[in-house]
Structure 1
Amino acid sequence: MVAICELCGRSGVETTVHHLLPKEKGGTFGDKADLCIPCHKQIHALYNNEEIAARLTTLQELRNDVKLSSFIKWLRKQPPTKIMKIKKSNQQKRKK
């Protein structure tokens, strides 16, 4: 669906549904947000579901997060058609 990302605010982007409380942590029927694909991928590349459930369950908490806020600031300057590669952080790789 082409719309506005609720996290970075870019318009004309393809969005996906992000469960603010991960489904595996009880958020199946909870609050959701329409996020552009880069924002959604970046959240899950930086954090596991336990950390998301513990401290990143609102759009404001996501926007205020130190690691994510710098990405959002950079992403806002990118055209909606830009395709980027999102890699899992080294911390996330080690946790598995």
Structure 2
Amino acid sequence: MDVCELCGRSVVKGTSHHLTPKEEGGTFKPTAFLCVPCHKQIHAIYTNQELSVRLDSIKKLKEDDKIRCYLKWIKKQPGTKSIKIKKSHERSRKK
């Protein structure tokens, strides 16, 4: 089992998250190993531009108010649990 770099849970399935989104020039920049729910949550809350400009590291993500409450909750969930993620209303209105 691997460990999610954002929530710290041991997970069976994880993904590679580009800390600077590929659409913003991050194809060959650093990545982080994240569990699927954390990866989906990040992209549900933040735009790619927001991720590339101010949230381009795990440390910065962990310190952001928008995801802090989610991290507090997800850390209590088993790494094998399937979790549904919904886009935030705020993110939907930005488009």
| Number of corresponding residues | 95
Answer yes or no: is 1:54 the counterpart of 2:50. Answer: no
Are 1:5 and 1:13, in contact at CA under 8 Å, matched by a contact in 2? Answer: no
Cα drift, residue 15 of structure 1: 0.6
Post-superposition Cα deviations, 1:53-89, rounded to whole Å, max 9, x if no partner, equal 1110000000001111111111010011111110000
Cα drift, residue 92 of structure 1: 1.2
Q: Distance in 1 between matches of 2:24 and 2:18?
A: 10
* Corresponding letter in the other structure for 2:44: A
Spell out the pairing of 1:28-47 with structure 2 (5 A cutoff): 28-47=27-46
Cα drift, residue 95 of structure 1: 1.7
Are 2:11 and 2:35, in contact at CA under 8 Å, matched by a contact in 1? Answer: no
- TM-score, length of structure 2 as denominator length: 0.95
SS of the residue 1:87 aligns to: coil
Tell me what 1:94 maps to.
93
Tell me what 2:17 maps to.
18
Are 2:55 and 2:61, in contact at CA under 8 Å, matched by a contact in 1? Answer: yes
Q: Distance in 2 between matches of 1:9 and 1:63?
A: 11
Are 2:7 and 2:75, in contact at CA under 8 Å, matched by a contact in 1? Answer: yes
Gaps of at least 5 residues in structure 1 are none
Could you tell me the percent identity over the aligned residues?
Answer: 56
Cα drift, residue 12 of structure 1: 3.0
- TM-score, length of structure 1 as denominator length: 0.94
Aligned structure 1 segments of 4 or more residues deviating by more than 2 angstroms? none
